[in-house]
Amino acid sequence: MKQKSIFILVLITFILTGCMYPKEELAQNQVPNEIQLEMVQSAVEKYKEETNGLVPIKTKDSDTPIFQKYLIDFSLLKENQLLTEIPSTAYENGGVYQYTIVDPEDNPQVKLIDLRTTEAIRKINVHLDHYRSKHIYPPFDKKISPGVYTLNYEKLGLDAPPSVISPFSQESLPIIIGSDGQLYIDYRKDLQEALNEYKHNYKEGDDIRFLLVEHSPFVPAYSLPYTVKNKEPVFLNE
């Protein structure tokens, strides 16, 4: 009887710890890990040295947006014995980030795409695709800039204007639509904070999105180009 009680206690402990462990792992995988970033950065630099300038990226179409174009291929780093395992924060290992490279030719920098923004865009795209199946034009609402509009969220069957939590500021950012029918995240709020906070040499006509990249582990995925005008961020086509 005593042995049976001990067995039951051990079994309960195992079940409880087994249930808790994945949650702990999940929480860890949702936080940017500076050590993991540095580890991947070092592996990418060594890979470039050993392959005469190549970088370990997945093949993407030439028209892929710049911050989503150079996703890291971890299998290449493992095959070349530059990484023993994929970072726990990476999508490929159950995390919520895609590891990407900025400026792969001259100065490859490892950065992150927060896949929670990707999921937010995907969910709105489901509504948009449904709407487009019955209508010729997307549900454009107010014009923000030439070729850039807010969404008529009511026509999409939404209760409020669509938004996403910024990986830079943790604030809510609007999801907008271009005349091409593609959804984008409006990063003007984050860009204004960056322009105010950091010293820079950006001038009108420059793409100021890289100011966010310089001071964060993230990239502004699903963004249109922005520049600065009268000390404020504006869409580059204005």
Residue 179's SS3 state is coil
- Number of residues assigned to the chain: 238
Place of tokens 């904070």: 193
CA distance 47 to 198: 32
Per-residue model confidence as pLDDT tens digits over 89-106: 999 999 999 999 999 999
Partners of 229 in the beta sheet?
232
Residue 236's SS3 state is coil
**Across 110-135, average pLDDT:** 97
CA distance 85 to 83: 6
Place of tokens 């008529």: 152
Per-residue model confidence as pLDDT tens digits over 54-81: 999 999 999 999 999 999 999 999 999 9
Strands 148-151 and 140-145: what pairing?
Answer: antiparallel
The structure tokens listed for 72 are: 């890291």
pLDDT over 90 (residue 24): no
Strands 172-178 and 109-114: what pairing?
Answer: unpaired
Predicted pLDDT at 32 = 74
Given a contact cutoff of 8 angstroms between Cβ atoms, the answer to whether 189 and 197 are in contact is no
Per-residue model confidence as pLDDT tens digits over 149-167: 999 999 999 999 999 999 9
CA dihedral 186, 189, 194, 197 (to 10 degrees): 180
Give the distance between the most distant pair of CA atoms in the chain.
Answer: 80
Q: Which amino acid is at 80?
A: N
Q: Tell me the pLDDT band of 237, cut-offs 50, 70 and 90.
A: confident
Element housing 191 (H / E): helix 188-197
Element housing 117 (H / E): helix 115-132
Write the DSSP assignment of 137-178 as a string of letters.
Answer: S--EEEEEETTEEEE-TTTTT-SS--EEE-TTTS-EEEEEEE
Predicted pLDDT at 28 = 52
> Smallest Cα–Cα separation from 195: which of 220, 232, 165, 163?
232
CA distance 232 to 228: 5
Predicted pLDDT at 19 = 42
pTM above 0.95, yes or no: no
